[in-house]
Structure 1
């Protein structure tokens, strides 16, 4: 599938409403209420949704999101993004915990079950044979693979050894 950002956003809202229905309150629903009944009614509907424990699904432009995810990460549970912005975001978040040298990578097709796990930092050939490269990214990618395969005991042992 190829989407523009606007089409991706619309697809995300449609999917959330279709798959999770009464468990979510989307920004698209907020906008519909706002257009029909005004801002106060939309704010009230969102407050009621939050009080009912619904998942709030919002969109944001990338530059504002990058600031928010770095300053208020607890406000975000799941992030869906197109590839390029996702790359910037994941690199910025990896920097918060030590850089891409320790960040694992996973690409999972949840329909087919096929998955690829990889280090996020690339091969760093200029450091070959110099004992300078941190192997954490590829090791943690292996942990993700083991978890994906259901081998949690092995994954937990590796994680514990790195603590």
Structure 2
């Protein structure tokens, strides 16, 4: 019936994390804030900065990449958005992912953040 949930910040964090878990986790869930009245929009990863894993190569760039896909689609750049989506799908089909994703794949191949990003670039 309603399209808006008004809640305290902490409860909103719980809700958004739970919804992100339904699509594979916060490392893969894209985010967008769109004002359809003005056309202004912000696209961002749904997760925080993860200071506890800085420099370890364990961060998953998919949330940011898929947020960029949403931005490109919003701007009407569907060819570019489709290329990124196809590249990610291809890597997942081959079993490539960062450690948070690869462990759930049959014969998953865990890659560091930079190695996974390089694979995405190669696939483009």
* 1:135 paired to 2:52: no
Cα deviation, residue 96, structure 1: 1.8
Change (3 A) 1:147 1:83: farther
1:15-54, aligned counterparts within 5 Å? none
What is the TM-score normalised by the length of structure 2? 0.63
Paired residues in the alignment total 87
1:35 maps to what in 2? none
Cα drift, residue 86 of structure 1: 4.9
Structure 1: 5+ residue stretches without partners: 1-56, 60-78
Secondary structure in 2 matching 1:162: helix
Q: Secondary structure at the match of 1:107?
A: strand
Instruction: Tell me the residue number matched to 1:156.
Output: 82
Deviates more, 1:124-133 or 1:143-152: 124-133
**Which residue in the other structure is 1:121 paired with?**
47
2:18 alignment counterpart = 92
Structure 2: runs of 5+ lacking an equivalent: 90-124
Structure 1 or 2: more helix by fraction: 1
2:31 to 75, 100, 105: 105
TM-score between the two structures when normalised by the length of structure 1: 0.49
